[in-house]
Amino acid sequence: MYNVKKYYKRDPRWVSVKYPCVCANCRAEIKPGTQAFYYPSTGDFFGMKCGCATRAYNDFMTMAEAEEYYATGGRGYYSTRMRENMEGRQIGSQFRQTLSQAGYKLVKYLGDGEVILQNEDGGHELWFKHDDNAGWTIEIRGVGYEFARRVPKYRVVKSVKKVKRVKTSKPSVRK
């Protein structure tokens, strides 16, 4: 399946399910004998059939790669591989990419140094201004932004003129 190098006892891993269970994300049934991504710290299983296991694996590997990058100063296996496969520029301990290089789209400026970005999968993420971040940074108009968290789909609502409703009294009856 996927190669996950296990660093810590409680790191998530691929398992063959022994008993019927449900996916922690979408509640789909996971049958015995099928592959799932398992988080021992929470006891959660993520199913392959529903696609949640691949997303959980990718999320974990992204965090593990970032953690290794910070811990080794960018000299670890994942950090080197990540830089070789990505466009961008290295500035000290910071790896900087533009929106297009990273595959992101700007959804909205929220003000106060926060933006909503759309990733390649269509999901929305909150990023905050942090020009001195060590690690991966997305550059927007010359300023570096750091990932904060995923957010539910952010709907951009165009301003609509408000129509003022006027209360009407009962129609008067003419005689």
Bridge partners, 94 (sequence order): 91, 135
Question: What DSSP element (H or E) covers 49?
Answer: none
d(CA 49, CA 54): 10
Quote the pTM value.
0.44
The H helix count followed by the E strand count for the chain is 3, 12
Q: Identify the three-state secondary structure at position 12.
A: coil
d(CA 42, CA 169): 61
Q: Are 140 and 115 in contact (CB under 8 A)?
A: yes
Q: What is the pLDDT of residue 65?
A: 72
Under 8 Å CB-to-CB from 13, ≥6 apart: which residues?
4, 6, 37, 38, 40
> Could you list the pLDDT tens digit for every one of the 175 residues in the chain?
445 454 567 788 889 999 999 999 899 999 999 999 999 888 999 998 888 888 888 788 777 777 776 666 655 555 555 555 556 777 766 778 888 888 889 998 888 889 999 887 788 888 888 877 667 788 888 888 888 888 877 565 454 445 455 555 555 555 5
Domain ranges of the chain: 13-69, 88-151
Q: Identify the three-state secondary structure at position 153.
A: coil
Q: What is the pLDDT of residue 2?
A: 47
Structure tokens at 81: 């591989």
Nearest to 63 by CA among 78, 49, 43: 78
Q: What is the pLDDT of residue 17?
A: 92
Neighbour-count burial of 175, counting CB atoms closer than 10 A to its CB (0-12 exposed, 13-18 middle, 19+ buried): exposed
